[in-house]
Amino acid sequence: MGLHARPAAMFVQTANTFKSEIKVDKEGKDVDAKSILGILSLAVECNDEVTIKANGEDAEDAIRKLVDLVNSKFGEE
């Protein structure tokens, strides 16, 4: 389904629950995972590959939670 409005909002809301700095990279473009405009600007489509990076005290938990959210297809399954 890609990261359009609803899933992007869910992704950003989840990212904002963590203290760590979180970035999402698509094809060399890095954006702040806590920014809805940043996430939407990536124009992520279904089956696109992105990298989630985090730095901070809860980085591992943040990555795990965001990957789980994506893998669950944002609650669609």
Q: Is residue 76 part of a domain?
A: no
Measured in degrees and rounded to the nearest 5, phi and psi for residue 75 equal 80, 10
pLDDT in tens, 12-35: 999 999 999 999 999 999 999 999
The verdict on whether 27 is a catalytic residue reads no
For residue 77, what pLDDT band results from cuts at 50, 70 and 90?
A: low
**Rounded distance, CA 39 to CA 23, Å?**
9
Q: Is residue 33 part of a domain?
A: yes
Calculate the alpha carbon distances from 57 to 17, 50, 61, 66 in Å. Answer: 13, 22, 9, 16
4 pLDDT more than 90: no
* CATH number, residue 10: 3.30.1340.10
Under DSSP, is residue 36 helix (H, G, I), strand (E, B) or coil?
helix
For residue 2, what pLDDT band results from cuts at 50, 70 and 90?
A: low
Contact 16, 49 (CB under 8 A): no
Per the residue annotation, which of 4, 6, 19, 64 is the catalytic one? 4
For residue 68, what pLDDT band results from cuts at 50, 70 and 90?
A: very high
pLDDT of residue 46: 85
**What range defines the domain where residue 26 resides?**
5-71
